[in-house]
Amino acid sequence: MPEKNLLIGIGDFFFKWRNLAFPVIFAVLFVLFPPPAEYLGAVWIEEAKDIIAVLIIVAGLAFRSATIGWVYIKRGGLNKQVYADKLVTGGFFGLCRNPLYVGNMLLFSGIFVMNGQPLAMLFGIGFHYLIYASIIAAEEHYLQNRFGAEYAGYCARVPRWIPDFTRYKESIEGMSFSFARAIAKDYTTIFNACLAMAAVEMIEHYLHYPWATFVQVSEISAVLFLILLIPLLAIKSIKRSGGLRS
């Protein structure tokens, strides 16, 4: 087995602790680089930025849901270590080797674009890319050792990051899309993405707008939170009872 290099070691660390590391990075960067209210004295630029950010976030959510709807693999590994009992190459894993991470990068990028502070975007997107690059290096090291020539052939056919949509028809041949699986496995991500967008707007309005406006935005966010929370709890209840397994 080839020796692990520094990048793989970092990837093993973040694979284990990413659920803690990502919120910490968000919190630190948003404290250091809070969102501005306008750019060059033009409010319309800030509004356009928000629209672009939402589109990027929606694209990330859609890409994740499409990936899971075609085929799902558990990304938590075994005992928080990289593990796979089979090599998945169909569905969106036939377009690129890391479609869930592509979706995540779009999500994180959109949230930092919504922040809009140039240094927050630079460091936020940069840090998350480096973390995922290290995790991918750790996963590739494991998969190469476990699956050998089969994985090498997969790497030769399918790009690591950029999806090759010319392979779409071939990748989903003989497969069926499961909306139930997409909802069951990814609604929490949708919920968290909406919370993150609401949090950015609340921070921005707290820092730059009258108190009454901040209260209004907070009330709207609270209502949206409750609207989104109800289906989240329902989905969790259905999953506990054995539903939404398709």
Calpha distance 61→228 (Å, rounded): 15
Report the pLDDT value the prediction gives residue 197, as an integer from 0 to 100: 95
Calpha distance 87→236 (Å, rounded): 28
pLDDT tens-digit map of 66-88: 999 999 877 666 677 888 889 99
pLDDT class for 227, splitting at 50, 70, 90?
A: very high
Report the alpha-carbon angle 52-167-188, nearest 5.
45
Contacts of residue 158, Cβ cutoff 8 Å, sequence gap at least 6: 89, 93, 94, 95, 96, 97, 164, 167
Report the pLDDT value the prediction gives residue 2, as an integer from 0 to 100: 61
Is 102 in contact with 32 (CB distance < 8 Å)? no
Classify residue 162 as exposed, middle or buried by CB count within 10 Å of its CB (0-12, 13-18, 19+): exposed
pLDDT class for 44, splitting at 50, 70, 90?
A: confident
Using left for φ > 0, alpha for ψ between -120 and 50, and beta otherwise, residue 42 falls in: beta
Cα end-to-end span (Å), the chain: 37
Calpha distance 66→118 (Å, rounded): 31
- If you classify domain 6-176 with CATH, what class do you get? mainly alpha
Does pLDDT of 219 surpass 60?
yes
Does pLDDT of 147 surpass 80?
yes
- Residue 190 dihedral angles phi and psi, to the nearest 5°: -60, -45
Contacts of residue 120, Cβ cutoff 8 Å, sequence gap at least 6: 29, 30, 32, 33, 35, 112
Using left for φ > 0, alpha for ψ between -120 and 50, and beta otherwise, residue 56 falls in: alpha
Per domain, the residue ranges of the chain are 6-176
Nearest to 93 by CA among 145, 22, 143, 149: 143
Report the pLDDT value the prediction gives residue 52, as an integer from 0 to 100: 97
Q: Share the mean pLDDT of the chain.
A: 92
Report the pLDDT value the prediction gives residue 73, as an integer from 0 to 100: 79
Contacts of residue 118, Cβ cutoff 8 Å, sequence gap at least 6: none
Which token pair is 135?
């995790």
Report the alpha-carbon angle 23-129-156, nearest 5.
135
SS3 readout for 97-156? CCHHHHHHHHHHHHHHHHHCCHHHHHHHHHHHHHHHHHHHHHHHHHHHHHHCHHHHHHHH
pLDDT tens-digit map of 102-140: 999 999 999 999 999 999 999 999 999 999 999 999 999
